Amino acid sequence: MSKDHNYLTTLKERGYRITPQREMIIKTIARNPTHFTADEIHTKIQTRVHSLNIATVYRTLELLVEEGMVCRSDFGEGHIIYAPEDHGPHIHLVCRQCNQVIDADSTLAHSLKEKMQEKYQFALDLHHLAVFGLCSACQKGEEHHES
């Protein structure tokens, strides 16, 4: 059974209505293997159908996040990206200089997660965590700086 079909069936089981808008959005997401923005989804659909409002895209993505089908990462600077849940949990290393995003192994943060739970009773969410810094290329180009 295809992924979009699964999503739609699950939503219906949970009491949500299946609208043409939701169908289009979910089918577009299911075809997409990687990260995407709300606007990318909207634009892709608009090339064929014109009657889809961007607010509906945002609301549907919000729903899919709540229902655990999509995950959302906020990269700051007003840049939010989404990914299918099966894209897998990992850390996004966002370069402050060139805006490149590196997908890093989220198990590397397990010890941090444990420490936060111990010291602050805070349950750190490692699912598509975004952290900032400098990629290797940009580190090299930063020698003209006070140490």
Q: Which residues are near a second copy by CB under 8 A?
A: 74, 76-78, 80, 93, 95-96, 102, 104-105, 108-109, 111-112, 115-116, 119-125, 129, 131-136, 139
Tell me the CA distances in angstroms from 110 to 65, 89, 127, 140, one per residue in order: 23, 12, 11, 29
With CB atoms as reference, the residue minimizing the distance to Mn ion is: 103
Q: N- to C-terminal Cα distance for the chain?
A: 57
State the nearest-atom distance from the C-beta of 61 to DNA, in Å.
Answer: 7
Selected from 2, 9, 43, 53, the binder of DNA by CB under 7 A is 53
The binding site for Mn ion (CB under 5 A) comprises: 103
Q: Do residues 61 and 70 touch, judged by C-beta distance below 8 A?
A: yes
